[in-house]
Each structure stands twice: as C-alpha cells, then as structure tokens.
A and B are shown apart, each in its own frame.
Chain A
Amino acid sequence: MTELTNLTLAEARDGLAKGDYTSVELTEAFLARMQAHKGLNAFIVDCPEVALERARASDARRAKGETKGPMDGAPVAIKDLFCTEGVQTTAASKILEGFKPQYESTVSAKLRDGGAVMLGKTNLDEFAMGSANITSAYGNVVSPWVAEDDTDKLVPGGSSGGSAAAVSARLCLAATGTDTGGSIRQPAAFTGIVGLKPTYGRCSRWGIVAFASSLDQAGPMTRTVRDAAIMLGQMAGFDAKDSTSAKVALPDFEKALTGDVRGLKVGIPKEYRPDGLNSEIAALWDQGIAWLKDAGAEIVEISLPHTDKALATYYIVAPAEASSNLARYDGVRYGLRVENGGNLDEMYMKTRAAGFGKEVKRRILIGTYVLSAGYYDAYYLKAQKVRALIANDFAEAFKKVDVILTPTAPSDAFPIAGGAKVDPITMYLNDVFTVPASLAGVPAMSIPGGLSQRGLPLGLQLIGRPFDEETILRAAGVMEAAAEFSAVPTLLRGTK
C-alpha cells in the first residue's frame, strides 16, 4: 500500500470514500511527518488537537453515510495569513504574535465547513512581503530540495514558502496560499508543486490579513493539477463580506480536466524572452510549447508590450496599498504594544518600530512616500495608469488566444544564505514573470515542468482569461501528463 502521506488529494478522497483508511489515520500520519520534519520550519503553529477533533468528526459523519464534500477528512495546512478562530494568526510578524482571531476567514471557513482537517498554520514572509521566505519573524523556511552539486540549504520561494515546503515534503495533502505578485506561483515552481492564483474576486479576501487589497488573492497549493481543481472548488465563491468578491457561477473545476487541448490557441509572449534569459528556463519553456503543440494546440506568438514595466508598477502600487493597510497595527486593538510613558504618537511609533521587520518597514516607507503630497501624481497615479496599460495588454492578447504560456520564475531556487545578502531590487526580480498577471487580475497557475541541471524543480506558468480557470486547468492537465514530473524532494529520497 502507498504510504498515506504520499497520496494525492484526489486519491485520499477516493480512499476515504471506499473506507481504505480513516481521516484520523491520515491525520495522524501527517502529524507524525510534521513532527519528524520540524527542521524545515514550515509551520508557525501546529494544531494537532484541532486536527484530530475535525478528523474524528469527519469519520463519524462518514460512518453515518454522510459527507460534506470532496475534501471531507482531508488534512491540509493553512497559510498563517488566514485568520483562524482561536488559533494564533501572525502573518509571520512579531506585531501579531499571540493574536487569536475571534472569527474565521471565509476561505478557511469554507474548507472547514467542507470537512477539511487543519493541521497547522504555515510560515510565510512577513505580511507576505518577500520571494524567499527569509523575512519571517519566526525564522526562514528550508526547502525540502537540495541541489545535486551542493549542500546549501535552499529557499522554498515566497511568500507562501511554508505552504510550498509542506506540500512538497508531504507534510499535508494540500495547503492554502495567497498571491499578491507571485506568492503562490513562484514557491510552487521552486518546490516542484502546483500553485494556482485564481482570478481577482474568485476567492473571498475576508479574514485574510491584507497586504495589497487590489492584488491579493487566495488559491490552492497542491501536488497535482486535479488536486488544485478540487481544492479551488472548496475555496472559491461569492462572499457578501468582501465587496470585491465576484458574483459569478462556480463551475465544477475538476470537470475541466478533459485532457483535450486540440485547437486551443496558446499565446507565447515574446517579451517574456528577454536577452539574458536563463538558458535552462528558455529550454523548459520551449519544451512546454512542444508538449501543447504535440497535443494539438495551436501556438501563436503574441505581444504584451508593457511587460518590462510591470515590476516597477507593482513596486509602487503594492507598497502604497500596504502602507495604508498596515496603518491598522497601532498597538491599540490587537497585537504588540510598546510604550514607555510617552504620548500616543510615541506609542504608535515605538510599537510599529519594534513590531515590523526590515522589509515591511521598507515597503511602508516607500508606500507612504509615493502617496504623500507632492509625489502622488508622479508615482502612484502614474503607476495606476501603467497598470491600466498592462491590463489592456492582456485583454488584447486574449482576443487572439485562449491561454498564455510562460516560465514561472527566472531561475531555480537559491541558497538561504545568499538570499539574505541580495539587494531589494534583485530579490524583486524573482517576480518578473508573475507580477503582470497579478496587476491584470487574471488567473495564473504554475505547474512543475522539469528539473534544472542542478536537480531542482522548474515551473511553467499558464495565464488565462478572467474567470476562466477551467481553461488553464485543462491545459495544465495536458502539460502535467506530458511532463511526467515524478521527482520527489531530496528529503524524501530513500524513504520511498
């Protein structure tokens, strides 16, 4: 029998339905693996009591012939950016240490109400600001992958690095992530898993600690495309508590996996192949194009002319929104407070200086500056206009093609030790291929395409029309079958 922790979500669903094992057995298997691999630092909080209680309830339901859906009894991890009732939620920041929400985020509530078992809260970059999971106040996450020619500990990517490492290392069946500029897709690429950022508005943002509200989107991180389809169905849907939540029909995403892409028009944007593109990444991209072509898709060269301005646009828009969102951490209503007899302003300033880490402060300062009197037009308004042009690039492209294929990240994973030394802009360049889709609000997905020469995972990204996750899932399913990606993390080798 397959080791329980190696099951996919779809296999676990079917096995639970057939009675091959119970949710408690699955949950205990994952809890044991979480204990055995504490060294990855993938979780900020473990919640074995909550998990076993939900697992027992799921088994009891099933014994009566009832189930709450495809994820009933499935052990999953929740990024520590989702507020979870009674379970500490920190956003990986000192400023929220000890914060126990009195309510449950809509997405995690949907999973809970669908019977999913929460194993714990996964580590991330502080307030989801980072691409390497090295800005967490609770320590960096270690990737379960190691390069063949090296022994350096590697980053899992970020910001959903804990979720990515946990799914890749089989510490959970699947995990939630959030993506503002690539925070689901880039870590998925680095750890050899599937990560889907849905259309802006597809999943409710209510109860998710806000970073940049016009960009933030929750999505599934799984080991297969089918699992992503199943989990998205459990996370998505209209929510009156999020004014930007979309009132659109919720399809059965799994039904989209027809395996047939004949006649599908796949756009290849020339701007994603700049001079100096890593040759391994370029080769993988070509391979991905060939897979879709062989399956009967039509390849169309397209242009997204403002691509090279997306990153700079993002690094005005996202910090501006962040500086506004993070104003709520004032030491009054929740979280850390530092005071030493001064006035209210001094309390605010000391609290925020002590509670926020370096990258978060940097972005708050940039955001405050670009929104300040005299600079608003030059920076923020300009960025909002360029954003309109970037969104229009995609709208024009989708008149000609059904889906767009690009690489996910410009390189494979890099060492943790190196990550701490690079300057901010070099770090920001990790998101060069993921940020444009975020700014346009369109759905995008990373799937594992192969390994680099150093034996590390590389991802390919599919971008779709607004609210057409079905087409990217369909294309992803075909590519997944062609890629036959079966590599397991270094950590798992020899353990079958």
Chain B
Amino acid sequence: MSLDKATVRKIGFLARLEIPEEDLDGLAHELNGILGWVEQLSQVNTEGVAPVASVSQMKLFWRDDAVTDGNMPEKVLANAPDAADGYFLVPKVVE
C-alpha cells in the first residue's frame, strides 16, 4: 500500500501535527520508504502466535486504591504556558 498526500495530511491531523503543503510530497515518499521496508514482516509465519504488548514476565502488581498524592496546585501549574486561579488556560473551546 502506498501513502498519498491526502493520507499524509490525514495522519498529520490525527497526530495533531501541522504539515506545510510543500512538505507533503517529501514526507509521503519517506514514509512509503519506511512502510515498504517494514512490509517484510508479512513474510513471517505468525499463525497461532499470541501478540505481546510487553515482554515483562511479571504480572502487574496492584496497589491500594488510595489517594497518595495531591494538594500541590502550584507545582502542577509551575510549567504551564498559561495559567490563572489554579487552572490551565486554553483557547476557547465552545463557540
């Protein structure tokens, strides 16, 4: 399968990355190169193989469902590009 400009633009939106029109062709070419290369996995017989998300042999441990942290709004907001009155500020969402 081959990516065209429209698909790259669509992926760009899904990833919330603005891609200038003049970069679309170059990116499509590069991404097609990488996807063409990873295509080699289709040669591997994986019938009956269970996919793994992690190779950690361990069962994830559980902790008590308790509040262990908090009451530090200044720290949470310390690196915010814009904040006021204990809140993050963002552009208007609801018209």
**Which residues of chain A have a CB within 8 Å of any CB of chain B?**
98-103, 200-201, 214, 240, 243-244, 246-247, 306, 309, 312-313, 315-316, 323, 327, 330-337, 339, 341-350, 352-353, 356, 361-362, 364-369, 372, 378-379, 381-389, 391, 423-425, 439-441, 466
Residues of the B chain whose Cβ atoms lie less than 8 Å from the Cβ of A439: 55
Residues of the A chain whose Cβ atoms lie less than 8 Å from the Cβ of B14: 368, 372
- Contact status B93-A335, CB under 8 Å: no
Of B34, B60, B79, most buried by chain A (CB within 10 Å of CB) is B34
The contact of A369 among B31, B46, B57, by CB within 8 Å, is B31
Q: Complex: how many Å from CA A372 to CA B12?
A: 12
Q: Complex: how many Å from CA A335 to CA B63?
A: 31
Residues of the A chain whose Cβ atoms lie less than 8 Å from the Cβ of B41: 309, 312-313, 316, 379, 382-383, 386
Q: Complex: how many Å from CA A247 to CA B79?
A: 33
**How near does chain B come to A473, taking the closest CB pair, in angstroms?**
21
Residues of the B chain whose Cβ atoms lie less than 8 Å from the Cβ of A366: 31, 34-35
- Contact status A388-B16, CB under 8 Å: no
**How near does chain B come to A255, taking the closest CB pair, in angstroms?**
25
- Contact status A352-B3, CB under 8 Å: no
Residues of the A chain whose Cβ atoms lie less than 8 Å from the Cβ of B67: none
A364/B40 contact (C-beta < 8 A), A246-B58, A347-B90, A384-B52 known:
no
Q: Specify the main secondary structure of chain B where it touches its partner.
A: loop
**How near does chain B come to A433, taking the closest CB pair, in angstroms?**
18
Contact sample, A vs B, 18 pairs, CB 8 Å cutoff: A200-B56, A246-B58, A312-B38, A316-B38, A332-B90, A333-B88, A335-B81, A346-B91, A349-B12, A350-B18, A352-B17, A353-B19, A369-B35, A381-B51, A383-B38, A389-B44, A423-B30, A440-B55
Residues of the A chain whose Cβ atoms lie less than 8 Å from the Cβ of B8: 365
Residues of the B chain whose Cβ atoms lie less than 8 Å from the Cβ of A334: 79-81
- Contact status B16-A214, CB under 8 Å: no
Residues of the B chain whose Cβ atoms lie less than 8 Å from the Cβ of A341: 91
Residues of the B chain whose Cβ atoms lie less than 8 Å from the Cβ of A331: 81
Q: Complex: how many Å from CA A77 to CA B72?
A: 29
- Contact status B80-A99, CB under 8 Å: no
The contact of B15 among A246, A323, A387, A441, by CB within 8 Å, is A323
Instruction: Kindly report which residue of chain A lies nearest to residue B79, judged by CB atoms.
Output: A334
Those of B36-88 within 8 Å (CB) of chain A:
37-38, 40-44, 46, 49-58, 60-61, 63, 72, 75-76, 78-82, 88
Residues of the A chain whose Cβ atoms lie less than 8 Å from the Cβ of B52: 384-385, 387-388, 391
